[in-house]
Structure 1
Amino acid sequence: MAETSKVYNQEIDLNNLDLKRSYTLKEFKYINSRLKNYTLEIDGHPVNLFELDKNGKLVPMPQTPCAREAVVAEIARQLCNWNIQTQQGGGVTTSQGGFNFVIDHQSAIRAPDVAFIPQNMVLRLTDKQAWTFQSAPFTPTFLVEVADIGEDIDNSKFKKVDKRFKEELITQSTMVQLGWLIDPQHKRIYIYRRGRRHSNPRWGDINGENVLPGFVLDMSLIDRIIDPPPPAPSPQEARQINCPDCNNTFNNKYEFMKHYEKIH
């Protein structure tokens, strides 16, 4: 049975979406909400999310393989830890978190794999900006895209993502100051900065510069996803951990870290 609904008096059949026509924000939100529990197949790839381009056209965002998504999750985890431990008070999103970019003077919904919004921006957001796409557009200041782009800059996969950074994500109409393009399969890193050519540092730790002061992405933890190590031996005995700032003791590092992040 086809998944259908009427939004603005136009019938939407999820099994027969017309990717050539323009959709309203209300239709776009309806389609993505339905796809949380419903998978389409487009050009042989499973799709559970769309972006919306400047002309209102749906842009399929195919599901990613689990290893690549594990890399995205690890980057987001490290960024979240930095956000908490340094009391930044900012917001961290992953690929389900869409932003209303402005491209060629037209609104376009984009969902970077990882993004960061600083506290001063979070505090200025209206409820409509935070919870809908119906208000003034805004973008993160930092973002990451994780993709298979090959071993050089001459292939079409790299050129497609490079164009996305230069013409959509870091433009005069956005607030993005720093972007990372990471290819874990080929161990390639490209760094994009506003107003400057991209750079291609060696595979290794990356720092957040003045956009994310003090943040360093530990690439050794990404390497553990790319090439998982053998299981560690089980500890012979439990060891209590004492908090250096109070008298509490804990049975493992996880309990201690949760306590320290919350209390201290």
Structure 2
Amino acid sequence: MPARLDLRLPSESPRDDDWLFALCQANRTLRIERSSQGDLVIMPPTGAETGARNAELNRHFGNWAATDGRGRVFDSSTGFLLPNGAMRSPDLAWVLRSRLAELSAQQKRQFLPLAPDVIIELASPSDTADALHAKLGEWCDNGVRLGWLILPEERQVWRYAPQAEPICLQAPSELRDAELLPGLALPLGSIWESL
């Protein structure tokens, strides 16, 4: 599987949020993010195994969110504009409806100018653990309240929260956070299995 591509742009290139949104719309088959330095990161599509795992995470989390009703779930094609200037797309994001209500209709049509309350990043074969750990740190530094990094090959989940050391969970059967996500029991059995 091809590795991701880091694309550097000349300093005179426009790099505002509207330009980035237009670039992503014109290249819908690419997964594009922007680093806090303004560099573009172009990632390959996921393989079938990662896609199936991500679909399961979104399905189970989405079912819980529909019952809970306090927030909305977003998939990996949603971009979030972070305070540090980065635009990132987690594999799964959850945002409280009260925060979404503060945004204009135009803001909701483009990349959301906020950090989600909860994110999940699911490693695929083209990812490196170091890059994903750095990304989870960036998410928390920019306002995410809870981040889970799932490394299927290692059968690990890393729990990230602001001002706390990451915690490694070895092959948990489910993920929970009673304070922030009451009632959620996100099953991970299918994550540890191969197709």
Q: Same-fold call, TM > 0.5?
A: yes
CA distance in 1, matches of 2:183, 2:7: 46
Q: 1:141 aligns with which of 105, 109, 117?
A: 117
Give matches, 1:62-211, under 5 Å.
Answer: 62-88=44-70, 90-103=71-84, 107-133=85-111, 137-148=113-124, 157-166=128-137, 168-171=138-141, 174-204=142-172, 205-211=174-180
Q: CA RMSD in A?
A: 2.2
Q: Which residue is 2:27 aligned to?
A: 35
Q: Report the alpha carbon displacement of residue 203 of structure 1 after superposing the two structures with TM.
A: 0.8
Structure 1 residue ranges, 4+ long, deviating more than 4 angstroms after superposition: none
Aligned to 1:9: none
Question: How far apart are residue 18 of structure 1 and its match?
Answer: 6.1
State how far apart, in whole Å, the 1-side matches of 2:105 and 2:75 are.
Answer: 20
**Secondary structure, counterpart of 1:85 in structure 2:** helix
Report the AA paired with residue 169 of structure 1: W
Larger Rg computed on CA atoms: 1
- 1:131 Cα deviation from its structure 2 partner: 1.5
Residue by residue over 1:147-202, the C-alpha shift from the partner in whole angstroms, topping out at 9 and shown as x without a partner, is: 148xxxxxx92222111111x2111xx33110000012331111111111011112
C-alpha distance in 2, partners of 1:124/1:28?
Answer: 23
Q: Distance in 2 between matches of 1:18 and 1:83?
A: 36
Unaligned runs of 5+ in 2: 1-5
Q: Is the alpha carbon distance of 1:157 and 1:18 closer, same or farther for their aligned partners in structure 2, counting shifts above 3 Å?
A: closer
Superposed displacement of residue 125, structure 1: 1.9
TM-score, normalised relative to structure 2: 0.85
Identity across the alignment (%): 25
Match of 1:24 among 11, 16, 23: 16
Greater RCO (CA < 8 Å, at least 6 residues apart): 2
The residue number in structure 1 matching 2:194 is 227
Distance of 2:7 and 2:128 partners within structure 1: 25
Deviations 1:186-224 (A, max 9, x none): 31111111111011112121103312111111112334x
* Partner deviation per Cα, 1:200-255 (whole Å, 9 max, x = no partner): 112121103312111111112334xx235xxxxxxxxxxxxxxxxxxxxxxxxxxx
Tell me: CA distance 1:30–1:87, structure 2 relative to 1, closer, same or farther (3 Å): closer
CA separation in 2, counterparts of 1:123 and 1:112?
Answer: 21
Provide the aligned length of Structure 1 versus Structure 2: 185
Cα distance in 1 between the residues matched to 2:152 and 2:136: 18
Contact 1:76 1:114 in 2 (8 A): yes
Verify the 8 A CA contact 1:24 1:56 in the aligned structure 2: no
Q: Which runs of 5+ in 1 are unaligned?
A: 1-16, 40-47, 150-155, 229-264
Contact 1:80/1:92 (8 A) holds in 2: yes
Deviation at 1:24, TM superposition (A): 3.0
The corresponding residue for 2:3 is none
Q: What CA distance in whole angstroms lies between the structure 2 residues aligned with 1:101 and 1:213? A: 26
